[in-house]
Amino acid sequence: EAQVTQNPRYLITVTGKKLTVTCSQNMNHEYMSWYRQDPGLGLRQIYYSMNVEVTDKGDVPEGYKVSRKEKRNFPLILESPSPNQTSLYFCASRGSVGETQYFGPGTRLLVL
Partner 1 sequence: DAKTTQPPSMDCAEGRAANLPCNHSTISGNEYVYWYRQIHSQGPQYIIHGLKNNETNEMASLIITEDRKSSTLILPHATLRDTAVYYCIVRVRRGNQFYFGTGTSLTVIP
Q: Could you write out the DSSP letters of every residue in 35-60?
A: EEEETTTEEEEEEEEEETTEEEE-S-
CA separation for the pair 45, 55 (Å, rounded) = 13
Q: Show contacts with partner 1 in window 78-107 (CB under 8 A).
A: 88, 90, 92, 94, 96-97, 99-106
Smaller CB separation from partner 1, 41 or 77: 41
> Rounded to the nearest whole angstrom, what is the least distance from the CB of residue 55 to partner 1 in the complex?
10
CA distances from 18 to 10, 62, 103 (A): 15, 15, 24
C-beta of residue 29 within 8 angstroms of C-beta of residue 23: no
Among positions 35, 78, 81, 85, the unique one binding partner 1 when judged by CB under 8 A = 35
Smaller CB separation from partner 1, 18 or 54: 54
Site string for partner 1, 2-31 (x = CB under 8 A): --x--------------------------x
